[in-house]
Amino acid sequence: MAALHHLVLPPRLLSGHGPPPVLRFSRRPRPLLHLLPRAAAAATRASAAAATAVSAPSDAALQNFRRWLSSQGADTGSVAPAVVPEGLGLVAARDLPRGEVVAEVPKKLWLDADAVAASDLGRVCGSAGDLRPWVSVSLLILREAARGGDSLWAPYLAILPRQTDSTIFWSEEELLEIQGTQLLSTTTGVKEYVQSEFDNVEAEIINANKDLFPGTITFDDFLWAFGVLRSRVFPELRGDKLALIPFADLINHNGDITSKESCWEIKGKGFLGRDTVFSLRTPMEVKSGEQIYVQYDLDKSNAELALDYGFTEENSSRDSYTLTLEISESDPFYEDKLDIAELNGMGETAYFDVVLGESLPSQMITYLRLLCLGGTDAFLLEALFRNKVWEHLELPVSRDNEESICQVIQNACKSALAAYHTTIEEDEELLEREDLQSRQQIAIEVRVGEKKVLEQINDIFKEREQELDDLEYYQERRLKDLGFIGDNGDIIFWES
Ligand SMILES: C[S@@+](CC[C@H](N)C(=O)[O-])C[C@H]1O[C@@H](n2cnc3c(N)ncnc32)[C@H](O)[C@@H]1O
């Protein structure tokens, strides 16, 4: 999934020769999205963080789920699933100290690769070759849903939300609110990716096994299963370990929890520890009747939270913008630059996440200097300098090179900023409104955050441009090293 995130991130700066590298927008044409059913009528937000597209299941469905959990041997003694502002959540049945185990879910209830293999899907998924784990678990979810009451997981499937506020479920009209953002590009890229996986499994598995999928499975169904996994799987359980853990997945996120300690473990239980369970602990002390929360991911930006879970946080460290820098194949020094980048652990393309209020990522300026290197500075690219060049690039190389970086970045920021349909001021005014629906709030928070980061980047390079005359460049450093420049900056002549 990490790779996915980087598929489509404008703006993209390409190196080149002669004039400074130009900005190429890799923004795709406006996406043609399937019109998805609208979310259940969004209620007023209980808090800035509360998602509202999640319609609560009926009391009967919730009761049935609780009965199912205990009949299947899940240990849920200290918490109960309940309706909360975020949809469903886990509420403490008694006072719980920090670190207390609140749920233990036996492996037989997990939806994972083993469950796929053990099901009637096992043979078809196995023979379909390299199905990605999320694809086969998505198919399992859809297969089990198709079995209705006969499925082991029926009571669990009945309480899953039909959609969240994740941008993958937004209508075309709603997506207009994030016009110009990186979030829109990423959302479009993710949906295209899911669509292409769906096209494959539809042809190879769904249509070829009508006994397993007697009804129609649409792209929207597949997207729903993808969204379920994306929003409910504990981050460390992705990839081959991907597992959807019923009941434990009802835990909601609270941004106030900042501990990096894991709140769950997989352990053996019962006779000789033979029964594997997923054990969830509360990361905070909780009073009886209060909701138990965890921190989903401290490192996710608001755009990632919006895409994965359908909420954002009012926290500037979640405001981020990813700059994509790339050595252009048309750069006359392409081979040399690529070689230097690779020797220093980087590649043809580099991604730099710039966070609001934080300094620029390390290596960004160095990589930019490499990208903009040309003209009379090109001697640094010669093989002779290969082992030292990165060190040289860590400091200003020449006025031309530094100026080129400043201009290229400022132009990129300006052009990215021009693509948004509102200004920061307009967005901040909109955020004051009481009647915002959850998706509008998410859209505004993401776009205002991206714009603030772009302005921050622009200001850094604007300021730097004013200081170009005060910087010390390669030639000056070199002359100093050779003893040709005195401490007061004068050139020392042999004659004097
Ligand atoms: C792992 S599930 C948690 C259970 C979920 N609330 C439910 O009703 O099934 C994650 C989803 O819960 C909601 N959620 C969790 N924490 C939230 C928060 N702090 N604010 C808003 N929505 C939240 C989002 O819809 C998210 O996609």
249: annotated binding-site residue? yes
Does 296 qualify as catalytic in the annotation?
yes
Helix (H) or strand (E) holding 323: strand 320-326
Residue owning the nearest CA to atom 25 of ligand 1: 164
Q: Which of 296, 321, 367, 420 is catalytic?
A: 296
For the chain, which domains are there? 2-30+314-481 (3.90.1420.10), 59-307 (3.90.1410.10)
* pLDDT per position as a tens digit, 318-346: 999 999 999 999 999 999 999 999 999 99
Q: Which residue spans within 85-124 are E strands per DSSP?
A: 87-92, 101-106, 111-112
* pLDDT per position as a tens digit, 377-406: 999 999 999 999 999 999 999 999 999 999
CA of 320 from ligand 1 middle (Å) equals 22
CA of 50 from ligand 1 middle (Å) equals 8
Whether 308 has a pLDDT exceeding 70, the answer reads yes
CA of 183 from ligand 1 middle (Å) equals 19
Whether 139 has a pLDDT exceeding 80, the answer reads yes
Rounded (5°) CA angle 378-384-385: 60
Mean pLDDT estimate for the chain: 88
Q: Is 89 a pocket residue for ligand 1 (Cβ < 6 Å)?
A: yes
Q: Is 49 a pocket residue for ligand 1 (Cβ < 6 Å)?
A: yes
Whether 30 has a pLDDT exceeding 60, the answer reads no
The answer to whether 228 and 244 have CB atoms below 8 angstroms apart is yes
The answer to whether 233 and 244 have CB atoms below 8 angstroms apart is yes
Model pLDDT, residue 44: 23
Closest CA to 92 of 284, 357, 374: 284
Q: Is 158 a pocket residue for ligand 1 (Cβ < 6 Å)?
A: no
Model pLDDT, residue 489: 66
32 falls in which pLDDT band (50, 70, 90)?
Answer: very low
Q: Is 311 a pocket residue for ligand 1 (Cβ < 6 Å)?
A: yes
The answer to whether 410 and 462 have CB atoms below 8 angstroms apart is yes
Distance CA 376, CA 400 (A): 9
Q: Which atom of ligand 1 is nearest to the CA of 253?
A: 16
CA of 252 from ligand 1 middle (Å) equals 5
